[in-house]
Amino acid sequence: MGRAKDTFRDYEAESAARARAFYAEHNARLTLAFTQEKEAEFLPPRRLRAGLWGVMERLETVVDESDPDTDLPQIVHAFQTAEALRKAGKPDWLVLVGLVHDMGKLLCLFGEPQWAVVGDTFPVGCAFSDAIVESAAFERNPDRADPLLSTASGIYEAGCGLGAVHFCWGHDEYIAGVLGPHLGEEAAYILRLHSFYAGHSHGAYGELFDERDRRWMPRVREFSTFDLYSKGARLPDIEGLRPRYEDLASAFLPDVLDW
């Protein structure tokens, strides 16, 4: 039997202490300068050449410290999300996005600390929203003391669109850079913004949206329900499902990818 929806993303629960400690560091350290440094380091992807499944298997060792809902390896969550989308009759490309959306956590295996890989994402280069989880931790973020970076639009023009905005570095930006060119513009948009809860679930940063954002953000919000609520489902039969998803991936992705 699945969990009730209001038991997910409960950062006040005693069991979420690990996630709260994670965000105390995550929100304090993710600055515009750090993000730009990591964008230059990891995009375009060039650390590894490997097939999708070689990387998927590596995710068996990664458990997300920011997640108050599960302590299962990322490969389990990948199949839970994909299966939830498939059973809901979503198109094949979106089912594949569900499978791969967290594969950017490969960065942990490149030696990156989890605070620079996982967790909710948000724009940098402008004011931090109170809608971001554990927002009090931004008091220790150096960007908070910069007068320009503390305004609503910051270094951006109002209405510029989120495509022109730097989001704090993490697995979302990275996987959009790796797989977005192969999966198309809408898939890349969802991959990049799936952890942007302040925007897609709380309506923050709307002053930066353009027409594409207003059209596609509801699709990210819908995707997030499959990402989030599938975690309470039973464990998937990964070995039994793998042939189905190998065929699906081969329809969209090359055999070898740059990571």
Mean pLDDT, residues 221-243: 86
**Six-digit token pair at 70?**
């599960």
pLDDT given for residue 8 in this prediction: 45
pLDDT given for residue 7 in this prediction: 44
Cα angle 136, 190, 109 (rounded to 5 degrees) comes to 70
Contact 209, 161 (CB under 8 A): yes
Domain annotation covers residue 13: no
pLDDT given for residue 65 in this prediction: 73
Domain annotation covers residue 20: no
Q: Considering its fold, how many domains does the chain have in total? A: 1
Question: Could you tell me the pTM of the whole model?
Answer: 0.90
Mean pLDDT, residues 6-31: 73
Domain annotation covers residue 15: no
Domain annotation covers residue 146: yes
pLDDT given for residue 122 in this prediction: 98
Q: Which amino acid is at 193?
A: L
Q: How, if at all, do strands 257-258 and 49-50 pair?
A: antiparallel
Alpha carbon distance 134, 227 (integer Å): 21
Mean pLDDT, residues 162-188: 97
Mean pLDDT, residues 12-38: 85
Please report which confidence band the pLDDT of residue 230 belongs to, taking 50, 70 and 90 as the band edges: low
Please report which confidence band the pLDDT of residue 71 belongs to, taking 50, 70 and 90 as the band edges: low
Domain annotation covers residue 225: yes
Contacts of 213 (CB under 8 A, 6+ apart): 161, 162
Q: 101 is in which domain, residue-wise?
A: 32-252
Contacts of 220 (CB under 8 A, 6+ apart): 189, 190, 193, 194, 196, 200
Mean pLDDT score of the chain, rounded to an integer?
Answer: 90
For the chain, the first-to-last Cα distance in angstroms comes to: 37
pLDDT given for residue 9 in this prediction: 45
pLDDT given for residue 17 in this prediction: 73
Domain annotation covers residue 14: no
Domain annotation covers residue 205: yes
Q: Exposed, middle or buried by CB within 10 Å (0-12, 13-18, 19+), for 48?
A: middle
Please report which confidence band the pLDDT of residue 10 belongs to, taking 50, 70 and 90 as the band edges: very low
Per residue in 34-65, pLDDT tens? 999 999 999 999 999 999 999 998 888 877 67
Contact 137, 28 (CB under 8 A): yes
Per residue in 72-124, pLDDT tens? 777 888 999 999 999 999 999 999 999 999 999 999 999 999 999 999 999 99
Position 70 pLDDT exceeds 70: no
Domain annotation covers residue 176: yes
**Six-digit token pair at 112?**
């990156």
